[in-house]
Amino acid sequence: MSESKKPTNFIRQIIEADLASGKHRKIHTRFPPEPNGYLHIGHAKSIVLNFGIAEDYGGECNLRFDDTNPHKEDVEYVEAIKEDVRWLGYEWAGLYYASDYFEQLYEFAVELIEKGLAYVCDLTPEQVREYRGTLTEPGRESPYRNRSVEENLDLFRRMRAGEFEDGARTLRAKIDMASPNMNMRDPTLYRIRRGAIHHQTGDEWCIYPMYDFTHPLSDALEGITHSLCTLEFEDHRPLYDWVLDHVSAPCHPRQIEFARLNLEYTVMSKRKLTQLVEEGHVEGWDDPRMPTIAGLRRRGYTPAAIRDFCNRIGVTKVDGTVEMGVLEASIREDLDRTAPRRMAVLDPLKVVITNYPEGKVETLSAPNHPKDDSMGTRELKLTREIYIDRADFRESANKKYKRLVLGGEVRLRNAYTIVCDEVVKDDEGRILELRCRYDPHTLGRNPEGRKVRGVIHWVSASEGVEAEVRLYDRLFTRPDPDGVKGASFLDFINPDSLKVVTAMLEPALAGAEAGARFQFEREGYFCRDAKEAEKGRLVFNRVVTLRDSWAKVEGKKA
């Protein structure tokens, strides 16, 4: 697929230049998630960028957990993240935790103190905020800013020893309280978290380094050459460089920022996704409507389609929002090529073929793929009573309608043509069933003297299998659910994002493997839900519909 086209973007250009100039002989990148939630499609963009670069330039990419805040993190997330990265098709060169470096980080902090570039500050959080100044006014220096090196060393050692309460003191970098860049106004380097049990280091530490101190040094310790992060860290780059410039770090990685992914009709922030899960708006992190990797996987998306999507959208510094259609195009392209075809009737309407022998079961053969014979065939069972979709019949319609009409003829996909003779209704006028006649001479060939334009799918009433089918739609009713002032994104949850129907499937579908994907002809791509399969239930999730130009024609009339 189009995945083979090598992407090009400003970051790759920088890397190519660094390789060409000899600045680097080997490229090292890293994907550094904080294990405080599940990965989503936005992370996939970063994963594909970082691992893709390592792959294409003969380099290496590490997976590093940025676990410096014990309050928010959990092993549940580290395991899920590892699974998601592997599922996307990548294997890390090294698996690290920022917490692996806590001892070294502590030493680097001591080095800063010894150089007179860091100090222990006793200001309360509120005071720190006051002293920091505002966007337009410079801050004021902390009264503790000029403590002696000896006193700072002693205090920092005692912070580590657990002698002070949470919030009582912090270690701060001594930079410039008047800097127009807020991040340079003596940023906090370490804070005290005495009660915390860290998922990796347990109770070994009671002081924890901040991101701005940890990240550049973790990168340097791992020999990262290019540290790729999102736009909001642009203002942090001067601090990233400051840390590396003032400590004896083994190397100085280059931080490069790119725009994070925004997708229409969904939300991407961890906070909001967590809220959707915790408040029960969805069934979990792997709910097929979620933009999480776990959700997309359960929905039926393939790793190849997600990688392809990431390459299609590119990498720039422009803060934009990608249409869902791009993601959908990626999965359709993949599944069109790889998914076996099947027939499934989602809204069954019974059809009795009056001239078809009662009790007869005819076995027909149908190709699994119209353009790929290597995918083989499967058997279909035709009987006197079958189901077709209610949307495929109208008592009358104009010639643009190519399906079954009273008195009209259509082909049953992979079988014979039928003509509708009669519509049977109940007292309220609702159609109960259709009575049709088939032409026994039309199997595998066109009838003589007339052309049958329409083809509809069907399933034998007695041989087919019933199954639950979940029809998913976008989770929100607006392309920008969190873009409305004064409103919550929750106000725009789509009440119809999940519709459950009982469908009739062709017999071959009864043995579908968990997670197996198919194209239900004329309907869309579906995936057997793996979670329900574990319970022995036959449930299918709609991954995405087929493109539908007829719906557009119909929509215009309405």
Partner RNA sequence: UGGGGUGUCGCCAAGUGGUUAAGGCACCGGACUUUGACUCCGGCAUCGCAGGUUCGAAUCCUGCCACCCCAGCCA
CA distance 11 to 227: 10
Nearer to RNA, 155 or 415 (CB): 415
Q: What residue type is 245 in one-letter code?
A: D
Nearer to RNA, 4 or 549 (CB): 549
Distance of CA 28 to the CA centre of its chain: 25
Q: Is 17 in the site for RNA (CB under 7 A)?
A: no
Q: Is 363 in the site for RNA (CB under 7 A)?
A: no
β-strands 409-412, 455-456 pairing: parallel
Whether 203 and 197 have beta carbons less than 8 Å apart is answered as yes
Tell me which residue has tokens 């580590």.
160
Tell me which residue has tokens 């902090």.
109
No. of H helices and E strands in the chain? 14, 27
Interface residue with RNA, options 28, 226, 236, 307 (CB under 7 A): 236
In sequence order, what DSSP letters do the residues of 311-334 get, joined into one string?
HHH---S----B-HHHHHHHHHHH
Site for RNA, residues 459 to 518, rule: CB under 7 A = none
Nearer to RNA, 187 or 303 (CB): 187
Whether 82 and 115 have beta carbons less than 8 Å apart is answered as no
Site for RNA, residues 101 to 140, rule: CB under 7 A = 123-125, 128-129, 132, 134-136
Site for RNA, residues 58 to 97, rule: CB under 7 A = 66, 68-69, 72
In angstroms, give the least distance from the CB of 536 to RNA.
29
Tell me which residue has tokens 């995918």.
375
Q: Is 558 in the site for RNA (CB under 7 A)?
A: no
Interface residue with RNA, options 411, 437, 517, 542 (CB under 7 A): 411
In angstroms, give the least distance from the CB of 444 to RNA.
4
Interface residue with RNA, options 251, 326, 501, 533 (CB under 7 A): 326
Question: Residue 211's CB: how many other CB atoms inside 10 A?
Answer: 18
Q: Is 276 in the site for RNA (CB under 7 A)?
A: no
Whether 50 and 33 have beta carbons less than 8 Å apart is answered as no
Site for RNA, residues 516 to 545, rule: CB under 7 A = 519, 521-522
Nearer to RNA, 167 or 195 (CB): 167
In angstroms, give the least distance from the CB of 483 to RNA.
8
Site for RNA, residues 240 to 269, rule: CB under 7 A = 259
Site for RNA, residues 171 to 230, rule: CB under 7 A = 180-183, 187-188, 191-192, 208, 210-212, 214
Q: Is 32 left (phi over 0), alpha (psi -120 to 50) or beta?
A: beta
In angstroms, give the least distance from the CB of 347 to RNA.
15
Nearest to 424 by CA among 452, 373, 385, 467: 385
Our answer to whether residue 270 is catalytic in this structure is yes
Site for RNA, residues 416 to 445, rule: CB under 7 A = 442-445
